[in-house]
Amino acid sequence: MAKILITGSADGLGKMAAQLLIARGHDVILHARSPQRAKEALAATPGARDAIPGDLSSIAETKAVAARANELGPFEAIIHNAAIGSGERKRIVTADGLSAIFAVNSLAPYILTCLIGRPKRLIYLSSGLHRNGDASLEDLNWERRPWNGFNAYSDSKLHDTILAFAVARKWADIYSNSVDPGWVATKMGGRNAPDNLTEGSETQAWLAVSDDPAARTTGHHFYHKHLRDPHPAAASPEVQEKFLAACGSISGVLFS
């Protein structure tokens, strides 16, 4: 039995992955953005051991989530699933002065990766849209560019893939990978999404616990349990270091 933390697991793919892993006998800790949502997540996911509340758009609350996770850990695997979609028609600014999409989708996984005790496996939810992301990593916070929610989301999913590959390169003792779950009919994906919803959560659950040699790997990008070519920039040590440095400067949390 493995102990697994899944961020953003009150609904959608995070909830589905939690249900899969619980059904297979694993010990799952949920996460939701508020105490009320955490309570609802526990009620909706029988068998989950606990749910950590915390708004990942806040640097302080993200640090608090990491602290609580360390109290409940150590973990064999962490699935970084929490995300905001591309539907924001204007740039929403957090209390820290950050674009909400960047704060939740990009910076929060970085902070949690740095502050939670290292698990054996790390899985970062990316997207096929990450190939449209801006690999220059300029204006991460969308302060100079005209706002475009689709592009901001694409950037953030590239960031997640970069982070997964950076961790794989720097922490050779763990498995770190990114996953494209497909365009599936969740609240974020919309009802007309064409990909298979059931398969949308299988790969991250498989990477978290499977003894299949194909799952015991690192520094790869997956789609439905198969390798898929990532944006070429994700594998660049120079790009990785630039992203880690930027996140460290913004959050005050340094990657070890």
In a domain, 256, yes or no: no
Q: Say yes or no to pLDDT of 191 above 90.
A: no
Phi, psi of 52 (to 5 degrees): -95, 125
Asked whether 14 and 25 are in contact (CB, 8 A), the reply is no
Of all residues in the chain, what percent are helix, strand and coil, respectively (each to 5)? 45, 15, 45
Provide the 3-class DSSP secondary structure of residue 167. helix
* Range(s) of the domain holding residue 181: 3-251
The pLDDT-based confidence of 195 (bands split at 50, 70, 90) is low
In a domain, 46, yes or no: yes
d(CA 112, CA 62): 7
In a domain, 82, yes or no: yes
Q: Say yes or no to pLDDT of 36 above 70.
A: yes
Q: What is the pLDDT of residues 70-96, one digit of tens each?
A: 999 999 999 999 999 877 789 999 999
Residue 128's nearest CA partner among 200, 192, 187, 56 is 200
Whichever domain contains 148, its CATH number is: 3.40.50.720
pLDDT at 197: 63
Place of tokens 């982070």: 163
Active site residue ranges: 153, 157
If one counts the domains in the chain, the total is 1
pLDDT at 192: 54
pLDDT at 185: 43
- Counting every residue written for the chain, the total comes to 256
The pLDDT-based confidence of 1 (bands split at 50, 70, 90) is confident
